[in-house]
Amino acid sequence: MPVAEKKMEAPKKFTPYEPAPGEEYMNEKQLEHFRQILLGWKQELMEEVDRTVRHLQEEANNYADPADRATQEEGFNLELRTRDRERKLLKKINETLEKIDEDDYGFCEACGVEIGIRRLEARPTATLCVDCKTLAELKEKQLGG
């Protein structure tokens, strides 16, 4: 699989958190769990950036055939667009890590309810609960198309 086709999904290499009965939501153990998930994801993305730089340097050929050159340039453009999306994701990961440090993580920015451990494990940078996210998507769909 070419580097550019890799999806930017949250890391799957972690043990799901199992809260104890009556455990307080977003306590230190939970915050540390999500901090480690985010740091691991950030590391994976940084390694992807390094692989892309190496790939672009190694594969840069000056093909005489315009079709070959266009194919190579399109592949490079796709990789660079993917890296740009990952750069934006890295920014969001850093912002999320700041929220954890400020003890302001895991609660919906729109309504204030708990986002939920499983949702955050699936999307650690989530800022909205499922209900608010669904409403936001419906509004966007109505306004945008």
Whether the predicted pLDDT of 95 surpasses 90? yes
CA dist., res. 34 & res. 126, Å (int): 12
Per-residue pLDDT reduced to its tens digit, 45-59: 999 888 877 777 666
- Residue 35 pLDDT: 98
- Residue 120 pLDDT: 97
Residue 111 belongs to domain with CATH number: 1.20.120.910
Whether the predicted pLDDT of 6 surpasses 90? no
The whole domain housing 58 covers 25-144
Please give the average per-residue pLDDT across 111-126, as a whole number.
97
Q: Is residue 8 part of a domain?
A: no
- Residue 4 pLDDT: 40
Q: Is residue 15 part of a domain?
A: no
Please give the average per-residue pLDDT across 11-21, as a whole number.
88
State the average pLDDT for the chain.
Answer: 87
Q: Is residue 10 part of a domain?
A: no
CA distances from 74 to 69, 71, 77, 80, 81 (A): 9, 5, 5, 10, 10
Q: Is residue 62 part of a domain?
A: yes
Whether the predicted pLDDT of 19 surpasses 50? yes
For 19, which DSSP code?
P
pTM for this model (two decimals):
0.78
More confident residue, 44 or 11: 44
Q: Is residue 29 part of a domain?
A: yes
Please give the average per-residue pLDDT across 119-145, as a whole number.
93
Q: Is residue 101 part of a domain?
A: yes
- State the number of CA atoms in the 13 A half-sphere of 83 facing the CB: 18
Q: Is residue 60 part of a domain?
A: yes
Q: Is residue 71 part of a domain?
A: yes
Q: Domain total for the chain?
A: 1
